Structure 1
Amino acid sequence: MKAYFSTMVLLGFYANAFSTTAAASNTTTHKQQFAATYYDNDNLHALHGQNALEKVNQLPGFTLVQSNAQRGLSAAGGNVLINGANAVSKSESLSDILRQLPSDQIAAIHLYSAGHPFSTASQFNQLVNIITHSPKLGAHWQARSKLTSAYHAYRPSELAAQIALPSADWQHQLNLHYQDDRSQSTSKFQEIDAFGSMLEQGHEAFFEKRNGRLLSLTSQPDLTDSRLVFSTKAVLDYFQIEQTRDNSSPFLWQLDESESRSEYEMTVDWQKESRHKNQWQVVALHNRKLEHIHSATFDHAAVAAPYQQHKTQQEQVVQLNITLPNIAYSPEFGIEISRNQLDAMTNNDGDFEQAQVSEIRYQPYAAISSEINQQWQLYTRLNTERTVLKSRANQNHKAQLGFIKPLIRLSYDPQSTWDMTITAQHQVDQLDFDDFVQSQDAEFNRTQSGNLSLRPSQFTEFATQFNVQLFDGLFFNLNLYHQWQKDIHEFIQLPNGNSMIGNAGAAQKLGGALSATWDTSLWLTGSQFNLSYDFANARFDDPLTGQRPTDGLTPHDASIEFRQDTSVYSWGVDIYLPLIETNYYVDELYLEKDQIELSAFAEYQLSRRLRVRGAVATLNTAKYSYIQHYFDDNRLGKYTGTRRIDERVDPVVTLSLLGQL
Structure 2
Amino acid sequence: MKIRYLASVAAIALAGLPAMVRAQEAGPATPASADQTATPLRSFDPAYFTQFAPRTALDMVRQIPGFSIAEGEDRRGLGQVSSNVLINGERFSGKSNDAVSELGRIGAANVIRIELIDGATLNLPGLTGQVVNIVSKVDSLTGQFRYSPRVRFRRTDPQLLNGEVSVSGKAGKIAYTLSLANNSFRNGNAGTERVLDAAGNVTDRRYEELYVNGDEPRIAAGIKYTGDTGQIGNLNLAYQRRWVRITEDSDGEVVRDRDYLETEKENNYEIGGDYLFPLWGGNLKLIGLRRFEHSPFFTRIFLDFEDRRPREGNSLATRIDETETIARAEYGWKAGKADWQFSLEGAINKLDTDAELKLLDTAGRFNPVPLPGSDATVEEKRAEIGLSYGRPLSSNLTLQTSIGGEYSQIMQSGPNGLTRSFIRPKGFVSLAWKPVQSLDLSLRLQRDVGQLNFFDFVASADLGAENQNSGNPDLVPQQSWNIDFQATKNLGALGSINAKAFVNFVEDIVDQVPIGATGEAPGNIDSATIWGVSIDSTFKMDVIGWTGVRFDIDYTYRKSSLPDPLTGINRRISGDLIHEFSAEFRYDIPGGNWAVGANYFDFSQADEVRLSQLAEFPIDGGDLGFYVENKDVRGLTVRLGLSNLIGTNEAFRRTFYVARRDGPVAFVEDRDRFFGPVVRLDINGSF
Global fold match (TM > 0.5): yes
Indicate the SS of the match to 1:59.
coil
Match of 1:644 among 666, 670, 677: 670
Q: Return the alpha-carbon distance in structure 1 between the equivalents of residues 123 and 51 of structure 2.
A: 26
Q: Return the alpha-carbon distance in structure 1 between the equivalents of residues 119 and 259 of structure 2.
A: 53
Indicate the SS of the match to 2:645.
coil
1:68·1:93 contact (CA, 8 Å) conserved in 2?
A: no
Match of 1:341 among 343, 350, 357: 350
Which residues of 2 match residues 555-566 of structure 1 at below 5 A? 555-565=578-588
Match of 1:244 among 242, 245, 249: 249
2:325 partner amino acid: Q
Match of 1:540 among 553, 557, 562: 562
Q: Return the alpha-carbon distance in structure 2 between the equivalents of residues 273 and 55 of structure 1.
A: 33
Q: Return the alpha-carbon distance in structure 1 between the equivalents of residues 152 and 576 of structure 2.
A: 34
Deviation, 1:251, is 5.1
Deviation, 1:565, is 4.7
Match of 1:421 among 430, 437, 442: 442
1:160 partner amino acid: E
- Equivalent residue, structure 2, for 1:260: 265
Match of 1:630 among 656, 676, 683: 656
Indicate the SS of the match to 1:78.
coil
- Tell me, yes or no, if structure 1 residue 530 matches structure 2 residue 560: no
Q: Relative to 1, partners in 2 of residues 1:561 and 1:213: Cα closer, same or farther, differing over 3 Å? A: same
Deviation, 1:423, is 1.3
- Tell me, yes or no, if structure 1 residue 162 matches structure 2 residue 162: no
1:68·1:94 contact (CA, 8 Å) conserved in 2?
A: no
Q: Return the alpha-carbon distance in structure 2 between the equivalents of residues 571 and 450 of structure 1.
A: 53
1:405·1:425 contact (CA, 8 Å) conserved in 2?
A: yes
Deviates more, 1:243-252 or 1:479-488: 243-252
- Equivalent residue, structure 1, for 2:219: 215
- Tell me, yes or no, if structure 1 residue 574 matches structure 2 residue 599: yes
Q: Return the alpha-carbon distance in structure 2 between the equivalents of residues 598 and 242 of structure 1.
A: 28
Q: Report the RMSD for the aligned CA atoms in angstroms.
A: 2.7
- Tell me, yes or no, if structure 1 residue 102 matches structure 2 residue 107: yes
Q: Return the alpha-carbon distance in structure 1 between the equivalents of residues 586 and 562 of structure 2.
A: 41
- Tell me, yes or no, if structure 1 residue 317 matches structure 2 residue 317: no
Deviation, 1:397, is 0.8
Q: Relative to 1, partners in 2 of residues 1:477 and 1:387: Cα closer, same or farther, differing over 3 Å? A: same
- Tell me, yes or no, if structure 1 residue 601 matches structure 2 residue 627: yes
Which residues of 2 match residues 438-587 of structure 1 at below 5 A? 438-469=459-490, 472-522=493-543, 523-545=545-567, 546-565=569-588, 568-587=593-612
- Equivalent residue, structure 2, for 1:401: 422
- Tell me, yes or no, if structure 1 residue 37 matches structure 2 residue 42: yes
Deviates more, 1:232-241 or 1:177-186: 177-186
Deviation, 1:244, is 1.1
Indicate the SS of the match to 1:481.
strand
Q: Return the alpha-carbon distance in structure 2 between the equivalents of residues 587 and 62 of structure 1.
A: 42
1:357·1:433 contact (CA, 8 Å) conserved in 2?
A: yes
Q: Relative to 1, partners in 2 of residues 1:164 and 1:328: Cα closer, same or farther, differing over 3 Å? A: closer
Indicate the SS of the match to 1:124.
coil
2:153·2:676 contact (CA, 8 Å) conserved in 1?
A: no
- Equivalent residue, structure 1, for 2:363: none
Deviation, 1:420, is 1.3
2:151·2:157 contact (CA, 8 Å) conserved in 1?
A: no
Deviation, 1:550, is 2.2
- Equivalent residue, structure 1, for 2:185: 181
2:138·2:168 contact (CA, 8 Å) conserved in 1?
A: no
1:255·1:442 contact (CA, 8 Å) conserved in 2?
A: no
Deviation, 1:491, is 0.5
Deviation, 1:413, is 0.5
Which residues of 2 match residues 1-150 of structure 1 at below 5 A? 34-43=39-48, 45=50, 48-67=53-72, 69-75=74-80, 77-113=82-118, 115-120=120-125, 122-150=126-154
Indicate the SS of the match to 2:375.
strand
2:123·2:390 contact (CA, 8 Å) conserved in 1?
A: no
Q: Return the alpha-carbon distance in structure 2 between the equivalents of residues 60 and 335 of structure 1.
A: 37
Deviation track 1:562-618 (CA, whole Å, cap 9, x = no partner) reads 223578344432211342422221112211132221133332133563222222232
Indicate the SS of the match to 2:606.
strand
2:610 partner amino acid: Y
1:254 partner amino acid: D
Deviation, 1:80, is 0.8
Deviation, 1:455, is 0.7
Q: Return the alpha-carbon distance in structure 1 between the equivalents of residues 668 and 317 of structure 2.
A: 29
Structure 1's unaligned 5+ residue stretches are 1-12, 21-29
Indicate the SS of the match to 1:475.
strand
Match of 2:640 among 614, 620, 629: 614
1:621·1:650 contact (CA, 8 Å) conserved in 2?
A: yes
Q: Relative to 1, partners in 2 of residues 1:335 and 1:427: Cα closer, same or farther, differing over 3 Å? A: same
- Equivalent residue, structure 2, for 1:3: none
- Equivalent residue, structure 2, for 1:198: 202
- Equivalent residue, structure 1, for 2:383: 362
Q: Return the alpha-carbon distance in structure 2 between the equivalents of residues 363 and 152 of structure 1.
A: 48
Deviation track 1:459-488 (CA, whole Å, cap 9, x = no partner) reads 112222111235641422111122211111
Q: Relative to 1, partners in 2 of residues 1:220 and 1:33: Cα closer, same or farther, differing over 3 Å? A: closer
Deviation track 1:341-397 (CA, whole Å, cap 9, x = no partner) reads 110011122325311111111121111122222122121111311111111232221
2:614·2:655 contact (CA, 8 Å) conserved in 1?
A: yes
Indicate the SS of the match to 2:566.
coil
Structure 2's unaligned 5+ residue stretches are 1-11, 20-28, 30-35, 306-310, 359-367
Q: Return the alpha-carbon distance in structure 2 between the equivalents of residues 473 and 275 of structure 1.
A: 48
Q: Relative to 1, partners in 2 of residues 1:463 and 1:155: Cα closer, same or farther, differing over 3 Å? A: closer
Indicate the SS of the match to 1:91.
coil
Q: Return the alpha-carbon distance in structure 1 between the equivalents of residues 436 and 558 of structure 2.
A: 31
Q: Relative to 1, partners in 2 of residues 1:185 and 1:75: Cα closer, same or farther, differing over 3 Å? A: farther
Match of 2:407 among 375, 381, 386: 386
TM-score normalised over the length of structure 2: 0.86
Q: Return the alpha-carbon distance in structure 2 between the equivalents of residues 179 and 461 of structure 1.
A: 34
Q: Return the alpha-carbon distance in structure 2 between the equivalents of residues 450 and 296 of structure 1.
A: 22
- Equivalent residue, structure 1, for 2:5: none
Deviation, 1:250, is 8.1
Deviation track 1:78-117 (CA, whole Å, cap 9, x = no partner) reads 1111122222233343322222332222222111136231
Match of 1:282 among 282, 286, 290: 286
Q: Relative to 1, partners in 2 of residues 1:596 and 1:147: Cα closer, same or farther, differing over 3 Å? A: closer
1:555 partner amino acid: I
Match of 1:592 among 600, 617, 628: 617
Deviation, 1:44, is 5.3
Q: Return the alpha-carbon distance in structure 1 between the equivalents of residues 550 and 578 of structure 2.
A: 27
1:611 partner amino acid: T
Deviation, 1:264, is 0.9
Q: Return the alpha-carbon distance in structure 2 between the equivalents of residues 237 and 329 of structure 1.
A: 47
